[in-house]
Structure 1
Amino acid sequence: MAWIYVVLGGLMDVGWATGLKYTHSFTELIPSVLTILCIVVSFYLFTKSVSQLPIGTAYAVFTGIGAAGTVIVGMLFLGEPRDGLRIFFIIVLLAGLLGLKMSVSETDKPKSEHERN
C-alpha cells in the first residue's frame, strides 16, 4: 500500500506543479484552491508512505514522479519542447525510479523509535 501512496502523492505533485501556472500568483480563486488541495493531498500521501518505506527511497521516487510527470504534462499540453534528448532523460529518470522501487525489500521497512532503542 505504501507504494500506492507514493505514486498517488507523486501524481498530486504533478497536479500542484502544473496548477501553479494557472493560479497567476494565487490571484485566481479556483485554480489556487485546487493547487493548494493538491499540495495538501500530495504531502499527506507522502507522509503515509514513509511510515512503511525508507525515507530516501520514497522521497526520490515521489519527487521523480512529480518531476517527470510535470515535464510530460508540459510537453503534451503546454507546448514545451519535445526534443529527443529531453525524452531520453525522462526515460532515464523513470528507469532510475523503477530501479529504486525494486531495490527496497520488505526487510527495509523503517524501524520505529521504540524498535531502534
Structure 2
Amino acid sequence: MAWFLLVAGGILEIGWALGLALSDGFSKVEIVIPTLFLMAGSFYLFAKSLKVLPVSTAYAVFTGLGSFGTAVLGMLFLGDAVSLPKIILVFTLIFCIIGLKVVSTPSKEAGHKI
C-alpha cells in the first residue's frame, strides 16, 4: 500500500509540475488552483508512504517519478527539446527508480497500517 501511495504521489507531482509550467508565473488562476491541490495531494501521499518506507528510498522514487514523467510529457506536449542522449538519460532514471524498489525493504514494521 505504501508503494501505491508513493507512486500516486509521484504522478500527482507530474501534474503540479506541468501546472506550474502552464500557469504563466501563477497568473492563470484556472490553472493555479488545481496545481495547488495537486501539490497538496502529492505531498500528503508522499508523507503517508513515509510511515512505512525509508525516506532515502521514498524521496528518490518520488522525485524521480516526477522528473521522469515531467520530462517525457514536456518533450511530448510542451515542445521541450528532444535528443537521443536526453531520452537515454531519462530512461536510465526510470530504470534506477525501479532498481530502488527492487532492492528496498520497508523501514518500519511490515504490517504497519497507513
**Same fold flag (TM > 0.5):** yes
- Which residue of 1 is the match for residue 42 of structure 2? 42
Q: Deviations over 1:51-84 (max 9, x none)?
A: 0100100000000000011000101101112211
Unaligned stretches of 5+ residues in structure 2: 110-114
- Which residue of 2 is the match for residue 59 of structure 1? 59
- The alignment status of 1:4 with 2:17, answered yes or no, reads no
- The alignment status of 1:73 with 2:73, answered yes or no, reads yes
Q: Deviations over 1:21-59 (max 9, x none)?
A: 121221211100011011000000000100010010000
Residue-pair matches, total:
109
SS at match of 1:93: helix
SS at match of 1:87: helix
Larger RCO, structures 1/2 (Cα 8 Å, 6+ apart): 2
1:88-103 mapped onto 2 (5 Å cutoff): 88-103=88-103
SS at match of 1:100: helix
Q: Say what the alpha-carbon RMSD is for the aligned residues.
A: 1.1
Identity %: 40
Distance in 2 between residues matched to 1:78 and 1:56, nearest whole Å: 31
- Which residue of 1 is the match for residue 112 of structure 2? none
Give 1 or 2: higher helix fraction: 1
Following superposition, which runs of at least 4 residues in structure 1 exceed 4 angstroms of deviation?
none
